[in-house]
Amino acid sequence: MKIIYLLNGNFSDIEQWKDVTLYELDQMLAALEWVKKQERKALEESSRSYRK
C-alpha cells in the first residue's frame, strides 16, 4: 500500500512511514523506475506505430 503513497506523492501521514526500512524504500523505488521504463517503452512503440 505504501507504494501507492509514493506514486501519489502523499507523505502527509508520516506515522505510516516510520517503520519502513531503507530496503523496503529501495524496493519501492526500483519498482517505480521499472514502471517508468515500461511506460517510456510503450510511448516510443506507440510513436513508432503512429509514424508508419
Residue-level pLDDT at 7: 61
Q: CA-to-CA distance for 32 and 52, rounded, in angstroms?
A: 31
7, amino acid identity? L
Domain boundaries, the chain: 2-8+20-51
Residue-level pLDDT at 9: 63
Residue-level pLDDT at 10: 62
User: How is residue 16 annotated by DSSP?
Assistant: G
Residue-level pLDDT at 24: 86
User: How is residue 14 annotated by DSSP?
Assistant: G
Q: What is the pLDDT of residues 1-52, one digit of tens each?
A: 566 666 666 666 777 777 888 898 888 889 889 999 999 999 999 888 877 6
CA dihedral sign, ordered 28, 32, 33, 37: positive
